Amino acid sequence: MSACRPNTIYRVPRPHALTPLRASSSPDAHLSPPSAPPPPPGRNVQIVNKEGVSEYTSDERGIYIRSGIVVITKGGVVPDNTVI
C-alpha cells in the first residue's frame, strides 16, 4: 500500500444501496423494506387539443388552453386516461 500524500483528495467507496428497514414492536415480526409509493396520476394521458379548442379554463385541475395551446400549471393534476 502506498503512503498518503498531503493535499490529495481520496475517494472513499460507498456501500451499495442500503434500504432502511421498518421497526416493529412485535417480537415475531420480520423486518421488510418500505413499500413503493403509489404511481403518480396522469397515466395514459394525451395532450393534443383533439377538439381544436381555442380557449378553456379548468382552475381546479390547473389546465388551460389559450390560443389553442394547452397549458398545465405547476402542480396541476391531469387524471388518468384523459384526452385534452
Element (H, E) at 65: strand 63-66
Per cent of the chain over pLDDT 70 is 60
Q: What is the rounded CA–CA span in Å between residue 78 and residue 55?
A: 18
Q: Which of 5, 83, 2, 3 is nearest to 44 (CA)?
A: 83
Q: What is the rounded CA–CA span in Å between residue 69 and residue 55?
A: 9
Q: What are the extents of the domains in the chain?
A: 41-78
The predicted structure's pLDDT at residue 55: 92
DSSP summary character for residue 46: B
Residue with cell 498531503: 6
Q: Are 76 and 84 in contact (CB under 8 A)?
A: no
pTM for the model: 0.46
The predicted structure's pLDDT at residue 35: 76
